[in-house]
Amino acid sequence: MPSLHITKPAVGCDSIARIRERQAPRIADGEVTITTRYRPTRFEELIGGSIFWIIKHRLVVRQRIVGFAESDDGRWNIRLDPKLIPVRTRPKRAHQGWRYLKGKDAPKDFDGDEDQIAEMPPQMLNDLAKLGLV
């Protein structure tokens, strides 16, 4: 796994399925973009890394970062692979913006049936994570 990633709260999303629904209309040319006001200082190190999404105070899913592009209005687009990869959940407090996450500290990918975990109700996923089962 690359050496640097970022974490970001999935504001308004209570499940992996909701992130997928929200991003679906923005998929173009095999990428999905999210917009941010400022480009991360260490953006070059993030290319090839992932953005780990926080849902209900847990890191639950990641997307690979393809690159960064400045938009016409001066904001920045983070270009992401549209594939959502469930990870072994880990507690993470919500925060504003993004936070860096070192590769050695990143949760490992979920090694089960990805579709099943993506469709689990958030509370069930949270309960199973507390028990160390996902």
Q: What is the pLDDT of residues 23-42, one digit of tens each?
A: 999 999 999 999 999 999 99
**Both tokens of residue 8?**
């970001």
Say which residue the tokens 């998929």 belong to: 27
Buried b (16+ CB within 10 A) or exposed e, 11-27: eebebbeebbeebeeee
pTM, 2 dp: 0.84
Q: Domain limits of the chain?
A: 4-130
The whole-number mean pLDDT for each consecutive block of 10 residues of the chain, a chain of 134 residues, reads 88 90 94 93 95 92 96 94 91 89 91 63 70 64
The reported pLDDT for the residue numbered 114 is: 57
